[in-house]
Amino acid sequence: MVKGLIDLLQKRLDVVEKEPIAPGQDFISHLAQREKEIQNLKEQMKTLQETGQELMKYFWKLKEEKLKTKKKKATEETKAVQKEEEIKLGKRPIVDNSPPKSPSPKQASRSLMIQQNQNPFTKFLKDYKESVILKISAL
């Protein structure tokens, strides 16, 4: 790429050296203008040769960063499209960072009742057992 730019500058330099005088232009001013443009082109070629490798590294670095940002945008867009499709289909959106689910109220109350021996069925059986034992012992 740098070599291509240097070649273009060299071609322009060749064209400037062979450029004829414009009609009505003074010969000395034409020579001065041509020399100034030749010097400018030579300086550009010299700076390109010195900094060409650095420019190429910088160019590739910019290109890689651009590709990374495109990939990130693409993944974000696909996620957004997937969420929209799920919503359209009536599905629940999948949340990655959802808090843990708490047990339903019926399960919590049942477990508390069992822990405290207040289950209605077991309480009835205990009460019945005690009343039957009392009746049997009274006989």
The answer to whether residues 28 and 76 belong to one domain is: yes
> Cβ(139)–Cβ(133) under 8 Å?
no
Place of tokens 């740098």: 2
95 domain-assigned: no
The answer to whether residues 77 and 122 belong to one domain is: no
Name residue 80's amino acid. Answer: A
H/E stretch holding 46 reads helix 27-89
The answer to whether residues 79 and 117 belong to one domain is: no
Q: What domain range is 22 assigned to?
A: 2-89
The answer to whether residues 25 and 80 belong to one domain is: yes
* Per-residue pLDDT tens listing for the chain (139 residues): 677 777 887 888 888 888 888 888 888 888 888 899 888 888 888 888 887 777 778 878 888 999 999 999 989 988 888 888 877 777 665 555 666 666 555 555 656 555 555 666 777 778 888 887 777 766 6
How remote is the C-alpha of 38 from its chain's centroid?
Answer: 47
Buried b (16+ CB within 10 A) or exposed e, 62-98: eeeeeeeeeeeeeeeeeeeeeeeeeeeeeeeeeeeee
The answer to whether residues 23 and 70 belong to one domain is: yes
pTM: 0.37
Total count of domains within the chain:
2
